[in-house]
Amino acid sequence: MCGLVGYVGAAPPVDRAGLERMRDTMSHRGPDGAGLYTHADDTTAVGLGHRRLSIIDTRAVGAQPMHNEDGSLTLVFNGEIYNFAALRRALEASGRHTFRTRTDTEVILHLYEECGPDVVERLEGMFAIALWDARERQLLLARDRMGKKPLHYAFDGRNNLIFASEIKAILASGCIEDGIDLQAHHDYLSLNYVPGPRTMFRSISKLPAAHALVWRAGRTRMWRYWDQRFYSTVTPRPSPPSEGTAARETLSLLKTCVRDRMVADVPLGTFLSGGIDSSAVLMCMAEAAARPVEAFTIRFEEAGYDESAQAARVAARFGAHHHVETVRPEAGTFLAPLVSVLDEPYADSSAIPLWYLARLARRHVTVALGGDGGDELYAGYRTHKAFRVAQLWQRLPAVLRERLAPALVERLPVSHAKVSFDLKARQFVAAANGSPAEAHYGYKAFLSEAARHALLRRDDATLAPTVRLFTEAFAAHPFEDALEAVLYSDFQIYLPDDILVKVDRMTMAHSLEARSPFLDHRLVEHAAALPSRYKLLGLRTKHLLRRALWGKLPFEVLERKKAGFNVPMAAWLLGDMRSILRDTLSRSRVQEMGLWSPDAVEALMTAHERRERDNSRTLWALLCFAAWNDHHRRGRAP
């Protein structure tokens, strides 16, 4: 795994030393090597930089930027191409290509010689690519289908295109202003992450997942090269395989995807929570490995949050070497590294245990497989169950849904337990009366539209409601089944901008490569093409996956409720982290930042401390934003 950086335009925005400085802000992404390429003529300047984490062909011959034989193509690449060996064999068989290395990087170069920018459609894996074509005088940027590998870009005042794996590298150019995008801030306060293609910096954008961009002669063209095709959107619709056949196909595909991700010239292991997805990955690895698998688990001391005992039973079942570390509320240990590596505000608190988990794994391995994607493929979240319950809810009398139920849930005692009943009930009742898109967004939102406007020091009527993102996703295809629209929206919004951001940044912070077998596009396409009743049967989540793994995983794993990778943030903010919260969100500091009403912030903290509300998610989001603003913008106002 690596980090890339570069620019293209009429004139270089930075000199060679400046490009090197930008590149080395990401040394954690590639501690094993660094490279640089620059070229300028009368019309065009291009620069490419790379930091390398060696995974395949660990010798220096795999260094980047990498050129083709005549030097007309230059590539920097972050990721892993799992079908590179098959692609290489086909290229060699043509008689037109000679290879100097064993790397997937060189395969991309030769494949581009054959099909140009359409190269991205032939690649299976996770990747971010920047490829300079000197003959055509064009630059290709591309990102993998799921958005596993990040790629950001911006234009400076002279219309030069600047790009990098991480935002900090773009800012290090000194050519891009760092003002806050107030719409991104508004969306962040609702979702606790910044949905793309925006970033928290108004001058910087994310290249969306499954998109490519070509710069040529000062003009850019962007297009989507892949998308999911769900069962109800295929015309004419084929007869689906039987449920039993689909389950057998699913398991066979999963095993193939795991084996493909076990190719490495360095030690590898797996993250293990004890849930269905991570346990399935361990099972497949144990079947394919010649020696015991290294498995890594995080535990909590707080009751109701610790799953390490379950993970230990799974590890023992498959003969894994099991490593466990305890996470404690030591904000002085994790807060500064989180803020530094994330580049923009991010308040999904599961990043905290993942930071520790990646640190633990890196002591033993360089590559770790994980179970990310299983919930999005097979309807595994509580929000998917809420969708089904809402279909029944809509049949109730309006007076019950709109008046009596909201009044009752407001009387529920506030609990600070993990995903407590009162929290779920309030979210459901507030959202379930809306359209499917509005309801699904409502189950995920942490602050209502009105509450966010009330929090602002200066309200802004131009801010678009965050629900627009979900409405657009639901309207992207002619879905006949609303659950398919729900799953599609999760793939377009939540997966790339929350889950995969967390996985990439937390693992890269420790120079660890993470691989996600469930997010192989072959498995994604297979799952999407199945009827939704195979995934959510009544209120039974992941029905097909459970059936595929029946008799292969322990019964208690297959039938347990989803726990999630949550931390006891509500209790932490009342205990060891209370002083950090109070200091960071003091009236004077909030006033200086100039975004929020100090009275509104104080009211949120007071209500949480008095246990009148569980405001932990919102308070953590405000704390993360303030810490980010201090670190990346020296505490300045927008």
Q: pLDDT tens digits for 239-273?
A: 999 999 999 999 999 999 999 999 888 889 999 99
Task: Please tell me whether residues 516 and 552 are part of one structural domain.
Answer: yes
480: left (phi over 0), alpha (psi -120 to 50) or beta: alpha
Task: Please tell me whether residues 49 and 134 are part of one structural domain.
Answer: yes
Higher local confidence (pLDDT), 415 or 6: 6
- pLDDT band, very low/low/confident/very high, at 206 (cuts 50, 70, 90): very high
Task: Please tell me whether residues 518 and 636 are part of one structural domain.
Answer: no
Q: What is the mean pLDDT of residues 519-525?
A: 97
The CATH number covering residue 527 comes to 3.40.50.620
- pLDDT at position 263, please? 87
In a domain, 537, yes or no: yes
Question: Average pLDDT over the chain, rounded to whole?
Answer: 91
- pLDDT band, very low/low/confident/very high, at 63 (cuts 50, 70, 90): confident
In a domain, 429, yes or no: no
Structural domain harbouring 57: 2-224
- pLDDT at position 461, please? 83
The CATH number covering residue 131 comes to 3.60.20.10
In a domain, 177, yes or no: yes
Task: Please tell me whether residues 294 and 152 are part of one structural domain.
Answer: no
Of the residues 539, 559, 579, which one is the last residue of a structural domain? 559
Task: Please tell me whether residues 220 and 236 are part of one structural domain.
Answer: no
pLDDT reading at 553 higher than 70: yes
Phi, psi of 391 (to 5 degrees): -65, -35
Pairing of strands 125-133, 138-143: antiparallel
- pLDDT at position 301, please? 78
CA distance 573 to 618: 11
pLDDT reading at 613 higher than 90: no
pLDDT reading at 340 higher than 90: no
pLDDT reading at 59 higher than 70: no
- pLDDT at position 423, please? 65
Higher local confidence (pLDDT), 178 or 393: 178
How would you write 242-311 as a 3-class SS string? CHHHHHHHHHHHHHHHHHHCCCCCCCEEEECCCCHHHHHHHHHHHHHCCCCCEEEEEEECCCCCCCHHHH
In a domain, 63, yes or no: yes
Task: Please tell me whether residues 219 and 277 are part of one structural domain.
Answer: no
Residue whose structure tokens are 């630059």? 139
Q: What is the mean pLDDT of residues 328-357?
A: 86
Task: Please tell me whether residues 217 and 322 are part of one structural domain.
Answer: no
Q: Count structural domains, the chain.
A: 3
pLDDT reading at 401 higher than 70: no
Higher local confidence (pLDDT), 329 or 289: 289
The neighbour count for residue 241, using CB atoms within 10 Å, is: 16
